[in-house]
Amino acid sequence: MTRSVGSGESVRLGFATVDIGREQRQGLPEVVYGPGKSAAEITAIVSVLLERSTGPVLVTRIDPGEADAVLASLGSGSYDRSARLLSWRPSPPDLGWRAAVVTAGTSDGAVADEASAIARAIGLDVTDIRDVGVAGLHRLLERVEELRAADVVVVVAGMEGALASVIGGLVAVPVIAVPTSTGYGAALEGVTALLAMLSSCAAGVTVVNIDSGFGAAMAAFRLTRTGARTRTDR
């Protein structure tokens, strides 16, 4: 029966139902969202994923203390503190897909770190460009060639999020905008940047959730599912 929706195997742990078929359906094992799970629960889920899949296994938004506990239990894996990411079996960067991860300001750095670290762990070739917001436009214009060399540009910006529109007008490839909660008052915890990016005058910019470096990296990965097939199937 479960074949009707593709590779549908799953493992029930009581508190969780691990989706074993995801790697076959989507090219990557399920990524574990850390918040709200104990180290023991994470350890159990990661164990299943390591055993029942072959690709990179990731846990996002996990604090150092809990990360240490998981690493100790499993005896393997590595932790990236700035990205708050636990990883096992990262992909080699051989897919030939280049992502530029760009921030408007220094304080957008943590979200960009998450996007870059995950993108690298799942096999993308990442270029980081930081603090090139539109208040000093020449900082961005100096980097246009780097932006144009990418297959996909992830734009990470808070406050008014104007950088997404400006880059959207400068490059031809997919632009994935990540609004951040940087700013105060009228920035409304990232809602303003979110709405602004969705209303962008640059055609074809797409948007993921506030502060979701994870979402942007995964959206970038989806592109490779197309390109990969393009090169081989046709």
Which 6-65 residues touch a copy of itself, going by CB under 8 A? Answer: 6, 8-10, 14-17, 19, 21-22, 25-27, 30-31, 33, 35-37, 41
DSSP reduced 3-state for 57: strand
**Is the separation of the CB atoms in 158 and 187 below 8 Å?**
yes
Applying CB under 8 A, the span of 62-70, 71-79, 83-91, 155-163 interacting with a copy of itself comes to 155-163
Contacts of 83 (CB under 8 A, 6+ apart): 113, 114, 116, 117, 118, 213
Count of positions on this chain that bind a copy of itself (CB under 8 A) = 112
Nearer to a copy of itself, 79 or 151 (CB): 151
**Residue 36 DSSP symbol:** T
- Residue 208 binding a copy of itself, by CB under 8 A: yes
Distance CA 100, CA 164 (A): 13
Which of 63, 76, 81, 209 is the binder for a copy of itself (CB under 8 A)?
209
**Residue 106 DSSP symbol:** G
Distance CA 156, CA 161 (A): 8
**Residue 85 DSSP symbol:** E
Nearer to a copy of itself, 53 or 212 (CB): 212
73-132: contacts with a copy of itself (CB under 8 A): 96, 104-107, 109-110, 130-132
Shortest separation between residue 76's beta carbon and a copy of itself, angstroms: 23
